[in-house]
A and B are shown apart, each in its own frame.
Chain A
Amino acid sequence: MHNNLLLLPIIIPFFTAMVLLFARKNVMYQRTVTMIGLIAAIVSAFYMLNIVYVDGPQTVTFGSWPAPFGITMISDMMSILLVVTTLVLTFFIVWYSFSAIGIEREKFYYYPGIMFILTGINGAFTTGDIFNLFVFFEVFLMSSYLLIVLGGEKQQLQGSIYYLVINIISSALFVITVAFLYSVVGTLSMADIALKVAALEQPAILTVIAVLFLVVFGLKAAIFPLFFWLPKAYKSAPAPILALFGALLTKVGVYAIIRTYTLIFVHDQSFTHEMLMILSILTIIFGCIGALAYFDVTLIIIYNIVIAVGVILFGVSQMNSAGLEGAMYYLVHDMLIKAALFMLGGILIAITGTANLRKMGGLMKRYPLFGWTFLIAAFSLAGIPPLSGFIGKLLIVESGFEANNPWMSIVILLSSLVVLLSVIRIFIYAFWGEEQQTTTSISQATYTQQFTPVLLLVAVTVAYGVGAELVAPYMSAAGEALLNPSIYIDAVMGGE
């Protein structure tokens, strides 16, 4: 009976979006309905989290077809944790949007866009069918096209075209890869694919397909040779949309890599996972170079996305319990903290009227609370204990030592220093020094409206770090399920 409830976090945003399409000019209506929809979705997701924690993974196979033939939706610990995180941080981003996105965008389907993007992302986290994953990818991509182009400023148009073309190519590659996979294993249900791949003992053709999947999802996740589009496409988007994209979209790609590389392609680890490890380390290194190279607040934080993706995937590539649990910790942490940082960056740009660090300075005098919040978020990003990034990174580094890759772990530790340096540089330039003549300062009331949700989100990340004891059972359950694909397969195939 409860298992149908796992669809609620997908259906509620979808229906909210449809209701929102009426009366688009009534901003109060748009805001209220969005908030009600989000709160309902968050409640249902937390309820589902509890059920999954107590009773194990829940599945629904549509149309009551037997498991490998129907499309299965499955909520295991990892997917429900990501769904909860997605909804919670979207709640804060929407709250921040009220004062940051501007009334014009609010009137032109901004909120329906966000709700449709949630439908797609939660669907992608929940689905257990590889082609259905493609469909949900397209659902959220389509809404992301709307959001990234909304407003139609010149800079935005260039970034949007770039973003669209990249994603169309990667979608075509996705279809091609699924077609190859289908021709080899003759099924689309991920659990069934895992069984078939295990029965075939992963011949070379399946390893090729595994690498193709890495290219497809890597384009979404922005791993090493494929991250070139990220700064260009994201740079021109307004702060709330940037926060949403930066926190969520790359993480769906990371999720898809984790899912395929822990469930399906686990039989030739010396090649596939070794390659994933090398790519993740290169991702970290190139991300670090980018994060230090720019004096633009937005670009610095965007390159930090790349670094985090590398760190998470390194944990996954080790395929031991510390690595997978750490990757889960770090994934949730990174989604929350990236949303917070992009919003803080947005406020910074709104106050000073520029994204260029060299033109900022001395904000500490007028905005002390903002300064300290930024510092906490920065420390959290770098993983200073007891803040939220610490435990995940600790486990990931430990996994590297366990799996006999000490040098890789040391690279990750060094990258933490670079991350710290890159965000502290923002802090030093923006908050210390002489106060600069600011051109377009926002009013105190707008500042308070924008700052409150961000402050609360940073408080949530601090709670996530300090209360790690409380979330630990959930994370270790997720890590264990990733380590033993049989849990996932039994939940899908053994269900009634």
Chain B
Amino acid sequence: MEIVMAFVIGFLFMAATYLMLSRSLLRIIIGTGLLSHGAHLLILTMGGLGGEAPPVLADGVEASQFADPLPQALILTAIVISFGVTAFILVLAYRAYQSLETDNTTLMKGSDDDAQ
């Protein structure tokens, strides 16, 4: 199971890298979204996918059968944070599109060197 997850995560990272290398701001944002999805899946996988029983002491359950609760706590925190950040960058991208009238990052840099 872990090996399948590894391939899924790798594929997500690949797609994220491809999207982030493009010039359109929206594609970059979708890329960062995919990147954080990959990272979240990775946390879940790295905790080990074994363990069926809920992590509560019960009769007749060996320690090795418990699911690891920590990665789930971590993933939840990470999801909330990346949700907030994605919402922020979407608003920022829209605002930038309104006032710079482009979503192409190369054109945005145009006036960058005027100061020198």
Q: Which residues from chain A sit less than 8 Å from chain B, CB to CB?
A: 131, 134-135, 138, 141-142, 145, 149, 152, 154-155, 157-158, 160-161, 164-165, 168-169, 171-173, 175-176, 178-180, 182-183, 188, 232, 235, 294-296, 355-356
Chain B residues touching A, majority SS: helix
Residues of B close to A188: CB separation below 8 A: 70
Q: A149-B92, A165-B28 are in contact. Are A157 and B39 (CB under 8 A)?
A: no
A182 contacts which of B47, B77, B99, B112 (Cβ < 8 Å)? B47
Q: Which residues from chain B sit less than 8 Å from chain A, CB to CB?
A: 20, 25, 28, 32, 35-36, 38-40, 42-43, 45-48, 70-71, 74, 77-78, 81-82, 84-85, 88-89, 92-93, 95-96, 99-100, 105, 108-109, 111-112, 115-116
Q: A142-B88, A176-B42 are in contact. Are A355 and B35 (CB under 8 A)?
A: no
Q: Determine if A171 and B85 form an interchain contact, defined as CB atoms under 8 angstroms apart.
A: yes
A178 to B32, CA, bound (A): 18
Residues of A close to B39: CB separation below 8 A: 172-173, 175-176, 179
Residues of A close to B99: CB separation below 8 A: 152, 154, 157
Question: What are 16 A-B pairs at a CB distance below 8 A?
Answer: A154-B99, A154-B111, A157-B99, A157-B100, A158-B108, A158-B109, A160-B92, A161-B92, A164-B89, A168-B32, A172-B82, A179-B46, A179-B71, A182-B43, A182-B74, A355-B115
Chain B residue with minimal CB distance to A176? B39
| B13, chain A: closest CB distance, angstroms | 9
Chain B residue with minimal CB distance to A160? B92
Q: Determine if B85 and A131 form an interchain contact, defined as CB atoms under 8 angstroms apart.
A: no
Q: Determine if B78 and A175 form an interchain contact, defined as CB atoms under 8 angstroms apart.
A: yes
| B76, chain A: closest CB distance, angstroms | 11
Residues of B close to A141: CB separation below 8 A: 85
Residues of B close to A161: CB separation below 8 A: 25, 89, 92-93, 96, 105, 108
A169 to B33, CA, bound (A): 10
Q: Determine if B81 and A138 form an interchain contact, defined as CB atoms under 8 angstroms apart.
A: yes
Q: Determine if A157 and B81 form an interchain contact, defined as CB atoms under 8 angstroms apart.
A: no
Q: Determine if A294 and B116 form an interchain contact, defined as CB atoms under 8 angstroms apart.
A: yes
Q: Determine if A168 and B89 form an interchain contact, defined as CB atoms under 8 angstroms apart.
A: yes
| A190, chain B: closest CB distance, angstroms | 15
A296 contacts which of B36, B93, B115 (Cβ < 8 Å)? B115
Residues of A close to B32: CB separation below 8 A: 165, 168-169, 172
A178 to B48, CA, bound (A): 14
